[in-house]
Amino acid sequence: MSTDKTIVLVTGANSGIGLETIIALSKSSPNYHLLLGARSLDKGNAALAQIQSIHNNQLLSSITPIQIDVTSLPTIESTKTYLASTFGRLDVLIQNAGVIVTHPCHTLKNLRTTFETNVFGAKVVTDELTPLLQKSTNARVIYVSSEQGSITLRLDPEYPYKDVPGTEYKMSKAALNMLAACHRYDFRKWGGKVTSFNPGWCVTNLTGETGRKMRIEGGARSAEDPAKALVAILEGKRDKEAWEDSGILDLDAGVHPW
């Protein structure tokens, strides 16, 4: 299938920020072909059915569920094969899949689980799909990270969220920010653009249903907010902040220090 539409792959897109991003992009323009990445096709198809039942008359861009588990190399490789045979390229990769370990477990298990998804999976997915990104005329990679991964903010005694727990999660996001920085530098050699994006404290399924309720009760923002910010980025409304300024792109404005 040859297409002049912008091919966008969003990982972890069957819920939370990823799901809202797919919805917002589809509503914004008919010029996308959106790939809804989920760990299983059942979850992806269920997410698409949910989207269509609520937003069907407002959807402008087509949406295709695909199975991609960032911790499973076979699903990553099958995604690469599908993209190559169907579109011949990838224009935008939004690395949204992430995890926070909330159940009690040994620190080593926590670290392995957290880094497997938040860091190792992100690196492998991008590496595997880079040849397809290189075939795009405007390749872009967005890592959905967190200001909690900012070492500068962590050491700032005035930082308002300095007492938020979760060392393992913060470590993984600091590593993800370094990955984004490395890819930003390396991809410039062939014209690729890379940024690290802070979605803020919003309502997601990242910490399960209990955590979701806690976020709602605590006044967390809707996942629609970062989704709208991601649409603005892809529409070219924040080019300097996203692709040139040094730091973690904030959903509202400006960048946070690395």
Provide the residue ranges of all domains of the chain, joining segments of one domain with +: 6-256
pLDDT of residue 224: 94
* Residue 16: C-alpha distances to residues 99, 123, 182, 202, 226 (Å): 12, 22, 27, 9, 10
* Residue 119: C-alpha distances to residues 58, 87, 97, 126, 161 (Å): 35, 27, 10, 11, 23
Q: Which of 119, 133, 117 is nearest to 80 (CA)?
A: 133
pLDDT of residue 132: 98
pLDDT of residue 56: 86
pLDDT of residue 1: 54
- pTM assigned to the model: 0.93
Catalytic machinery residues: 169, 173
Architecture of the domain defined by 6-256: 3-Layer(aba) Sandwich (3.40)
Block means of pLDDT (10 residues each) for the chain, length 258 residues? 86 96 98 98 97 95 98 98 98 96 94 98 98 98 97 95 92 98 97 96 63 56 93 97 97 96
Name the residue with tokens 């269920």: 46
pLDDT of residue 218: 55
